[in-house]
Structure 1
Amino acid sequence: MQSHEIIKTCFANSSPKALAAELGISQSLIYKWSQPVGESQSGSKNPLDRVCALNQACSDNQLIKWLAAQADGYFVPNKVVHSELDALNPATHEMVSQFASLLGAIAHAGLDERITREEAADIRQRWDTLKSFADGFVNACERGDFDKMKEIEKQWQQSS
């Protein structure tokens, strides 16, 4: 979805007039933010575009992490899984291994019927790593990379 389309989805919960009043800006600016930007378009660069540009300029995702925290969430980047480097079986093994590691950390932390801040931080780190890897795995599956890996593996086995 484009940023102007995201802005437009805000109109479902609040009118452009109410949003403009809440933000202390003109109603016409809200409408401009919700339209595409381009030579033949009447839209205006919106705050989402600017935040994206600022985040890219900083290149460390601290801005996005902060925004996610403001929404009571966490930013976890996707791990890119490349078929040239990651075959299906090692990738699935890695995902299961990371999940087992997370469950082990949870089980170990809960042995004394309490979880310390350090244990919680460790669990969070393992969870974020698993989410990142799993999403990269799903993205690779959606791109069909693993189907290609199976064909390459079959050809290799036939030539051996």
Structure 2
Amino acid sequence: MQSHEIIKTCFVDSSPKALAAELGISQSLIYKWSQPVGETQSGSKNPLDRVCALNEACGDNQLIKWLAAQADGYFVPNNVVSAKHDALNPATHEMVSQFASLLGEIANAGLDERITQEEAAGIRKRWDTLKSFADGFVNACERGDFDQMKEIEKQWSRSA
């Protein structure tokens, strides 16, 4: 979905007039943000486009991580998997092993019936890495493509 379409979805729960009043901007600007931008289009670059451009300029996703935190979430980048290969079994085994390893870390941290901030940070790091690996795995499943799973496995071992 493009940014102007996302902005347009805001009109379902709140009117453009109410949104404009809440943001302290003109109603026409809200409408312009909800239209495509281009030579033959009447839209205007919206805040989502600008945030994406700023994030790309910074190059480290700190801005996106901050936005996710503001929405009580957490940003985890997807792994990119490309070339075609049929190494499904090793990739499946690696993902299950990583999940078992995470569960082991959680169990060990909770042996004393409390989890310290340091243990929680370690669990969070392992969980985020597993989510990223699992998303790469799902992408590979969708494409029937497992060539880069070994590279993703190497990334896991370095960060685990």
Shorter-chain TM-score bucket reads: 0.7 to 0.9
**Which structure would you say has the larger Rg?**
1
CA distance in 2, matches of 1:133, 1:115: 25
The equivalent of 1:103 in structure 2 is 103
CA distance in 1, matches of 2:37, 2:145: 34
Q: Which letter does structure 1 place at the counterpart of 2:77?
A: P
Q: How big is each residue's C-alpha offset from its partner over 1:34-75, in whole Å with a ceiling of 9 and x where there is no partner?
A: 011111111100000000000001110000000000001000
Q: How many residues align?
A: 146
TM-score by length of 1: 0.87
The equivalent of 1:74 in structure 2 is 74
Q: How big is each residue's C-alpha offset from its partner over 1:90-147, in whole Å with a ceiling of 9 and x where there is no partner?
A: 211211111011101110111111110011111111110111011111111112325x
CA distance in 2, matches of 1:141, 1:77: 18
CA distance in 2, matches of 1:54, 1:137: 29
2:107 matches 1:117: no
Secondary structure of the residue that 1:112 maps to in structure 2? coil
CA distance in 1, matches of 2:85, 2:111: 38
The equivalent of 2:127 in structure 1 is 127
Instruction: Please state how far the C-alpha of 1:84 moved relative to its aligned partner.
Output: 5.5
Aligned partners of 1:83 and 1:140 also within 8 Å: no
**Residue 85 to residue 126, structure 1, CA distance change in 2 (3 Å):** farther
User: Which sections of structure 2, spanning at least 5 residues, go unmatched?
Assistant: 147-160
The equivalent of 2:156 in structure 1 is none
Coordinate RMSD, CA, aligned: 1.4
2:2 matches 1:7: no
2:26 matches 1:26: yes
Aligned partners of 2:68 and 2:75 also within 8 Å: yes
2:62 matches 1:62: yes
Q: Which has the higher contact order (CA 8 A, sep 6+)?
A: 2
